[in-house]
Amino acid sequence: RETYVGYVDVKSQPVQFYVQKTANFTATTANAELSPFEMVKLNEGGAMDEQTGIFKAPKSGIYVFDFAAVDLAGGTDLVVNIHKNDELVASGGPVGSANHGTVAILSMLQLTVDDTI
């Protein structure tokens, strides 16, 4: 009989998603608290609700969230906020020229079951 050190009852189920917006924000939509993503390229584990754009942790652990956007000239100022449940955990705005600024936020968060992002 084989014995695996550190393997007893260890099971892994991947949780990963990749979503995109395909529509631009406008002055009328920029103040929306949440704007669902129109394109879901990956939703392994089903933790991203495709209708609401809310991620719900299926199990406790450390999760990594990576967000990127481009702020086009002529619109309202872009500010991106990421919330864990109702608490602000990350925020960012564009860096770059007046015509095209980029926003990038990388967050590594400890989540428990049913925490939302």
CATH number of domain containing 108: 2.60.120.40
pLDDT of residue 60: 93
Name the band, by pLDDT with cuts 50, 70 and 90, for residue 13: confident
pLDDT of residue 49: 93
- Within-domain flag for 10: no
pLDDT tens string 23-82? 776 655 555 566 678 899 999 999 999 888 899 999 999 999 999 888 777 666 777 889
Asked if residue 112 is part of any domain, the answer here is yes
On whether residue 109 sits in a domain, the answer given is: yes
User: Comparing 3-7, 11-15, 17-21, 106-110, which segment has the lowest mean pLDDT?
Assistant: 3-7
The predicted pLDDT at position 88 comes to 94
Residue 85: phi, psi to the nearest 5? 55, -115
- Domain range holding 111? 16-116
Total domains in the fold of the chain: 1
The secondary structure of 29-82 as a DSSP string is TTT-S----SEEEEEETS-EETTTTEEB-SSSEEEEEEEEEEEETTSPPP-EEE
pTM of the predicted model as reported, rounded to 2 decimal places:
0.76
pLDDT in tens, 88-101: 999 887 776 656 77
